[in-house]
Amino acid sequence: MKILITGGTNGMGKGVAKVLAELDNQHHEIIVLGRSQQLGDATIEEIKNATKNPKISLILCDLTKLREVRNAIDEIHKHHTFLDAIFINAGLGYAATRVETEDRMDPHFQVNYLSHFMLLLNLLALLEKSSHGGRVVFNVTRGGEIFWDNIQMTRNWHYEKGVHQAMVAKRMLLSILHKYYQRSKGSKVAFIGFEIPKTVWTNQINLIPRGMKIMASIMKSLGMFISIDDCGKIMAPLFTEPQIDNYKKSGKFLTRKKNRFVEMTEDPKILNSDLQKKLWRISVELCNDKITREIAEKFTQ
């Protein structure tokens, strides 16, 4: 399997990258999408050394910049004729203030959702060429809402609201894409939402304020966190299982309980066609990218 992982330089993405790189006698190829050349190179060296898998590469992309998303898409198409899986994972978590992106957007909305929307739409053609059944795994959590009249959160900003708004948008996107593929393309690509059942001890711990850090350390001592490696082990089957099992999960919002993937009940608002169309229109508009618009138009034909 050839698997693209956004945010593979830290946290959950790195855990999944490491586990997949080692699985099946180092058979899988991993492409890490990261925003820093230095950290990207170091991560690739670390994974190669730890797993003895040489098939690890880096695509540079700062997801706060749509022009870099366009470059990353072009770069991926230049080097790869197919992809088997994408992990939609990179995300901004804690932030003390709202730092608008160069595209004048809310940072959580752009990094955690919109840049992934553009990336994914432009890579679907590569996933369709997978001989194992292309698959997209969205790192999502329950809860949250979209602030339709304040999507860029210029009012009432709080980082948690931003994180959750993006989660809702990602869950809506996976449902839209699943419905579209079912309707017009059969089982070529699966779109799966997954909520990790326990909090993962990630780089977020280094970014949060002192008070939150102390609280997290207490919770860790009580066994309330899992490591990024354990996170990787839990999630790996979603990327490597046979197409027949994977496609049964498409369009679903899953978690893991008692060693099994189980479906969670999705919020009716997420599945609402009118709201999905609204989010789709807004997303295409905000990407402001000719090729993305052309791809998106095919979905409405």
- Site of interaction with ligand NAP (CB under 6 A): 7, 9-13, 34-36, 39, 62-64, 89-93, 111-112, 139, 141, 163, 196, 199-200, 202-204
Cα–Cα distances (Å) from 250 to 77, 128, 156, 187, 210, in that order, read: 25, 15, 35, 9, 40
Q: Which is nearer to ligand NAP, 34 or 134 (CB)?
A: 34
CB 147, min distance to ligand NAP, A: 18
CB 65, min distance to ligand NAP, A: 8
Do residues 201 and 225 touch, judged by C-beta distance below 8 A?
A: yes
Degrees (nearest 5) of the Cα angle 107, 299, 246? Answer: 80
Q: Which is nearer to ligand NAP, 115 or 130 (CB)?
A: 115
CA distance 211 to 235: 30
CB 195, min distance to ligand NAP, A: 7
Which residue matches tokens 């809506």?
172
CB 205, min distance to ligand NAP, A: 8
CB 104, min distance to ligand NAP, A: 15
CB 265, min distance to ligand NAP, A: 18
| Dihedral Cα 205, 208, 214, 215, nearest 10 deg | -90
Q: Which is nearer to ligand NAP, 147 or 181 (CB)?
A: 147
Q: Which is nearer to ligand NAP, 39 or 291 (CB)?
A: 39
Q: Which is nearer to ligand NAP, 58 or 127 (CB)?
A: 58
Report, in angstroms and rounded to the nearest whole number, the Rg of the chain calculated over CA atoms: 18
Q: In this structure, what DSSP letter does residue 113 have?
A: I
With the C-alpha atoms ordered 190, 193, 195, 201, is the resulting torsion angle positive or negative?
positive
CA distance 230 to 18: 11
**Number of continuous H segments (helices) and E segments (strands) in the chain:** 13, 10
Q: Which is nearer to ligand NAP, 64 or 130 (CB)?
A: 64
